[in-house]
């Protein structure tokens, strides 16, 4: 994307080590195409306020049994990109607004495909049903229990 002289705006939310922060800032300065804002750890409300339609949610976690972040992105009408092979793939596989990539090259390609697109078309009835079904604490707890039981059997 940077080779095409387009500016990429990135907001990073969450705990980021000083070492990683320095690497990210150095990459942004050297690229000339990255505008990176490291927001750090935010309150839940502040995090939700950053999830705006027209943006893309990227979840880098590989180890997470259930992602409220992904649900919150989806509830705000924001498509989500995750890496294949993470623990969330079984939960979100098959949902149009959730895309899985293998590597950074696929990540960039997916971002390009979403850029300027009306992403509301990704949010079909199955996505809304998924949100409804997975926004219930009873369903969330049952999913967690199923995961725990799978380790015990």
Helix, strand, coil shares of the chain, percent, nearest 5, are: 50, 15, 35
pLDDT for the residue 63:
61
Cα dist from 43 to 31, 37, 61, 78, whole Å: 30, 16, 19, 19
In this structure, are residues 79 and 114 in contact, taking their beta carbons and an 8 Å threshold? Answer: yes
SS3 75: helix
pLDDT for the residue 105:
84
pLDDT for the residue 2:
52
pTM over 0.85: no
pLDDT for the residue 112:
83
**CA quadruple 115, 116, 122, 123: dihedral sign:** positive
What's phi and psi for 135, nearest 5 deg?
-95, 0
Using DSSP bridges, classify how beta strands 34-40 and 98-101 pair: parallel, antiparallel or unpaired. Answer: unpaired
d(CA 151, CA 153): 6
In this structure, are residues 70 and 82 in contact, taking their beta carbons and an 8 Å threshold? Answer: yes
pLDDT in tens, the chain (153 residues): 555 556 677 788 888 888 888 888 887 777 777 778 888 888 888 888 888 877 888 887 666 656 678 888 898 899 999 888 877 888 888 999 999 999 888 888 888 888 888 889 999 999 999 988 887 778 778 878 888 899 887
In this structure, are residues 143 and 66 in contact, taking their beta carbons and an 8 Å threshold? Answer: yes
């Amino acid at each position: 994307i940077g080779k095409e002289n387009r500016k990429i705006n990135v907001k990073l939310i969450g705990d980021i080590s000083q070492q990683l922060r320095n690497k990210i800032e150095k990459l942004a300065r050297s690229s000339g195409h990255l505008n990176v804002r490291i927001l750090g750890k935010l309150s839940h409300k502040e995090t939700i306020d950053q999830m705006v339609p027209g943006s893309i949610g990227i979840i880098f976690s590989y180890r997470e049994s259930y992602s409220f972040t992904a649900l919150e992105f989806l509830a705000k009408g924001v498509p989500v990109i995750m890496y294949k092979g993470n623990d969330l793939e079984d939960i979100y596989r098959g949902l149009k607004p959730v895309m899985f990539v293998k590597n950074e090259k696929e990540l960039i390609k997916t971002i390009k495909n979403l850029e300027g697109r009306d992403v509301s078309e990704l949010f079909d009835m199955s996505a809304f049903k998924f949100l409804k079904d997975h926004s219930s604490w009873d369903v969330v707890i049952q999913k967690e229990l199923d995961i725990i039981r799978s380790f015990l059997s």
